[in-house]
Structure formats: C-alpha cells, structure tokens
C-alpha cells in the first residue's frame, strides 16, 4: 500500500469513532456467521437502555422480538450474494424496561478482513408514526366534515399566465354542479361555461378584485345544470393565499342558494305589490277625501249658508216685544255660524284647499296652523316660492308633513320646530327638525308604530326615501327626499 493510502486509512480510522459516537441514528455491526453484535454505537445503547457488554452477547432477535434468525440470515445471504446493495427492514425494538418503539433500518454488507459483517443504520420512527397517525386522524375528521357539508368544498388555483385549475374538489361536486369531480378537474373551464352568460362578468370581476386586494371572494350567480335542465343560484365564498410563482389559490365552499333566492324574489315581489297597493289605497283615499270635502263644503256648507240667510230674514221680521224669541233666534244663528266653521274645518282636514295653491303655500299654512293649535313655534323656509310638483306627490309630501307635526305634538316635548323645503334639479327635500327628546330606535321599529310606517310607505310610493335621525342639538330630524326627472325651478327665494 502506498504511503498516501496509509495516511488516508489512518485518518478514516481516527474519524470513524467520532462519527459513530455523534450520530443520532442507531448503528449496529453484526457478524454474519454468529448473528451477534460486534459493535453498537452510544445512540443505540442509550435508546435500548443496555450497556455495550450486555449487548455484546445478544442477537438482533433479542431486541427485535417480532423477527427471526432465519429472516435475518436470508437477508444477509441476499446481500452477500450481491443480489442487492442494501436492504430495508422495519421492525420494533424492545427496551430493557419493556417499552417498545418502531425503527426503520437500512442494511449494508461489508466483507472485512476479520470476517463479513452487516452494518445496520436505524432511525426511531415513533415520532413520524405519531405524526402520520395524527395526520390520518385529522384527514379522517376533515373528510367526515366535508362529506357532511351542504355544498362543494374546493380549491381553486389561478396561475400567473391566467391558467386555472381545481386542485381539490369534494364529493359534493356532482350533487351541486351536475358534473363529476373528474370531469371538472380535467376540464376546469367547464365551470365558467356552466355560469349563465349574463352572470359571467360579475364572476370575473369579483375574482380579479379578490386577487388584487387579497380579500375574500364572495360571489352569487346562476348556473345552468344540463343534467337536470335547470337553473341554480350558487354562492361562492373563498379565502385567497399567494403561492410560489405568484400563483393565487383559494380555499372555499360553494352552496346552493336557489331556495333562499327564490324566497327573496318572492318577498321583493310581495313588497312591491304591497307598496303598489298602499300607493293605490292612498290615492283612492285622497280622491275620496277630496270628494267628501267638496260634498261637505258645497252641499252642507251651501245649505247652512241658506239657513243663515233665511234666519237673518226671519230675525228682522220678528216683533221687538218678544225678547225670548229674539234670544232663541240669536242662539240659532250662533249655532249655525259654529256649524259652518266646523264644516270648513272638517273639509280642510279632509283636503286643505290651500293645496290648490301649491306645495309651498300648503306647508306654510299647515305650519301656521300648528302654531295656533299646539302653541309650539314652527319656522318654515323654502328655497323657492313655487315648486312645480305632481299633485299626487305634493299631496303625499303634505300628508307626511302633517304626520310629522302630529308626532311632534304628541311625543317630542319640543319647544321649537324648523321646517326646510329645498327644490333642485334632482330632488325635492323636506326636513322637519325639532329640539325635543328624540326618538329611540325601538320606537321606530315597534309593531304599532303606524305613523312612521305610513310616512315611509308614502315616501316609497313616490320613489323617494325617508330617514329619521337624531339632530346635533338633540331632538329628531325627519327628512324626505323625492327624486325628480326634470322640473323647472322658480327663481325667487321665499323665507317665512
């Protein structure tokens, strides 16, 4: 042997003990003929809880009790014959205290000068087995949850080049989409084709928004199920995360929301029908009020006026020497006057004639009547002297104003009311502001809050909106917005 080779062998001999002692693997050297341990490294000795002297007289079957000498001999023979360069064995070692642990070995044959040996390098795989067991249990739980979820659990992968796929699809795929998981996984574009043409753009838009903002993807749309010749509404909810290569993957769930969508549509239709009915009832009621007011004013008022005139003629012709009869005549005349006033008041309440002069004049009149009747100051301002508003809308807005003043008189305990009427090219806005105790949310939504509910219904019937909020100084703000298509604006400003 050359001197350089001797030096290298000497260095190897110096390294080997350090390597064997420092290894975390269990290392055994077994004599092929005697099947006894010729060497056991410290890691193996510590794991087995035996000393080197104790192990020196043992065979592998003493610590691997589920193995036999025949199995080891057969394995050794195959390695010795050169049929394979190494062999893998999985077994269970028993410690001195009786506890066990699984171990995985790699066996190598070495024909040394002192006799053939087997070098066995093993690793305790109990931690790995525990991890595998925990993983299998976790997967089992996940599969159980997924299989019982009312929908499709999925993963959606979007690559940087725009290509997409479904890495995972649960068994609910066919029940929801009418296609098998294999079909959809092989042809991911099929999902987009299932979406109705008019809903595809919203699907893409919400996906791009989720991608750019890394926000949750939430989409609702309709799909065509060829298998059942039917349209379904589905809801897609997923959470994104960025993968390597700038790809984005979502994990989420798709559910069938057809039933709830149909219920929502039915509710919307019912509400629209109720709104139409309410508007029709209000229109009919206003017409009936107008008719009754005219009947009262024209017929009853005319008759009372005729009675008053006839009574005045009789009074003038009565003899002056009968004071009792004159007193009776004066009483009847005053009674007729009070009745005429009552007729005017009832007719005005049914439909104020001031509405014929426009919305601004009507609201101004009602504000002054409120001051007379309730005694609370009510300031009114309008951006224009005249507002050309449809008569039905003007009447509805006036009725809302009356109801708001009624609520203030009954509940607000206010000492001042401000009313603002604004007319622009886009809308008419009426604000009623009081400085009272305010209105609680519970009072707005209670079952018998018909006043506010009626105001809301009237505003909806006009295509407008009504809001009730708290004023900055306390009290309540009732604001009604009525959108306009195109109405001319007056130029003069009116302040009252």
Q: CB–CB of 222/231 below 8 Å?
A: yes
In sequence order, which residues have a C-beta less than 8 Å from that of residue 177 and are 6 or more positions away?
152, 184, 191, 194, 223, 225, 254
Q: Given pLDDT bands bounded at 50, 70 and 90, which one contains residue 149?
A: confident
Q: CB–CB of 482/464 below 8 Å?
A: yes
Give the model's pLDDT for residue 114.
73
In sequence order, which residues have a C-beta less than 8 Å from that of residue 160 and are 6 or more positions away?
245, 246, 247
pLDDT exceeds cutoff 50 at 489:
no
Domain boundaries, the chain: 3-130, 149-256, 269-349, 358-495
CATH number among 3.30.565.10, 3.90.1150.10, 3.10.50.30, 2.60.120.10, domain 358-495 = 3.30.565.10
Burial class (CB in 10 A: 0-12, 13-18, 19+), 26: buried
Burial class (CB in 10 A: 0-12, 13-18, 19+), 482: buried
User: For 211-258, what is each residue's pLDDT tens digit?
Assistant: 999 999 999 999 999 888 999 999 999 999 999 878 999 999 999 999
Q: d(Cα 189, Cα 202) in Å, to the nearest integer?
A: 16
Q: Under DSSP, is residue 378 helix (H, G, I), strand (E, B) or coil?
A: strand
Once rounded to an integer, what is the mean pLDDT over residues 185-191? 94
Q: Determine phi and psi for 195, rounding to 5 degrees.
A: -70, 135
DSSP 386-399: -B---HHHHHHHHH
Enter the pTM of the model: 0.49
Once rounded to an integer, what is the mean pLDDT over residues 389-394? 83
Q: Under DSSP, is residue 165 helix (H, G, I), strand (E, B) or coil?
A: strand
Q: What is the CATH number of domain 149-256?
A: 3.30.450.20
Query: Tokens 């690793």 map to which residue?
Result: 123
User: For 260-308, what is each residue's pLDDT tens digit?
Assistant: 988 988 888 887 788 788 778 777 877 887 778 777 877 787 888 888 8
Does 3-130 match 149-256 in CATH topology?
A: yes
Q: Closest Cα partner for 33 from 105, 93, 118, 108?
A: 118
Q: What top-level class would CATH report for the domain 3-130?
A: alpha beta
Q: CB–CB of 203/195 below 8 Å?
A: yes
């Amino acid at each position: 042997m050359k001197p350089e080779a001797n030096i290298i062998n000497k260095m190897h001999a110096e390294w080997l003990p350090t390597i064997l002692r420092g290894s975390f693997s269990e290392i055994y050297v077994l004599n092929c003929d005697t099947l006894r341990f010729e060497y056991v490294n410290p890691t193996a000795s510590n794991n087995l809880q035996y000393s080197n002297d104790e192990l020196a007289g043992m065979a592998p079957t003493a610590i691997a009790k589920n193995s036999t000498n025949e199995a080891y001999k057969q394995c050794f023979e195959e390695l010795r014959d050169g049929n394979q360069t190494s062999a893998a064995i999985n077994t269970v070692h028993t410690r001195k205290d009786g506890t066990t642990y699984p171990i995985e070995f790699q066996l190598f044959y070495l024909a040394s000068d002192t006799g053939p040996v087997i070098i066995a390098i093993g690793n305790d795989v109990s931690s790995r087995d525990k991890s595998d067991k925990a993983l299998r249990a976790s997967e089992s739980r996940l599969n159980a949850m997924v299989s019982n979820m009312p929908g499709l659990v999925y993963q959606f992968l979007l690559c940087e080049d725009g290509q997409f796929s479904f890495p995972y699809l649960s068994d609910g795929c066919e029940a929801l989409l009418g296609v098998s998981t294999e079909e959809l996984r092989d042809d991911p574009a099929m999902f987009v084709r299932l979406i109705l043409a008019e809903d595809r753009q919203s699907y893409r838009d919400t996906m791009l928004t989720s991608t750019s903002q890394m926000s949750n993807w939430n989409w609702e749309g309709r799909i065509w199920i060829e298998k059942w010749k039917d349209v379904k509404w589905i809801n897609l909810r997923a959470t994104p995360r960025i993968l390597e290569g700038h790809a984005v993957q979502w994990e989420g769930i798709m559910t069938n929301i057809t039933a709830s969508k149909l219920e929502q549509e039915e509710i919307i239709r019912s509400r629209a029908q109720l709104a139409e009915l309410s508007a029709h009832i209000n229109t009919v009621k206003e017409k009936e009020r107008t008719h009754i007011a005219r009947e009262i004013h024209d017929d009853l008022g005319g008759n009372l006026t005729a009675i008053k005139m006839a009574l005045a003629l009789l009074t003038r012709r009565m003899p002056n020497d009968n004071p009792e009869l004159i007193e009776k005549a004066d009483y009847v005349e005053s009674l007729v006057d009070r009745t005429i006033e009552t007729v005017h008041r009832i007719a005005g309440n049914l439909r104020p004639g001031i509405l014929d002069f426009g919305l601004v004049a009507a609201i101004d009149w009602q504000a002054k009547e409120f001051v007379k009747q309730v005694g609370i100051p009510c300031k009114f301002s309008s951006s224009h002297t005249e507002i050309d508003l449809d008569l039905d809308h003007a009447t509805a807005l006036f009725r809302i104003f009356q109801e708001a003043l009624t609520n203030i008189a009954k509940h607000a305990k206010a000492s001042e009311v401000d009313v603002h009427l604004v007319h622009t090219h886009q809308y008419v806005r009426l604000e009623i502001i009081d400085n009272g105790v305010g209105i609680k949310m519970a009072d707005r939504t209670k079952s018998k809050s018909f006043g506010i509910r009626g105001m809301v219904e009237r505003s909806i019937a006009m295509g407008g909106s009504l809001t009730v909020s708290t004023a900055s100084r306390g009290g309540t703000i009732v604001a009604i917005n009525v959108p306009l298509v195109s109405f001319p604006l007056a130029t003069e400003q009116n302040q009252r």
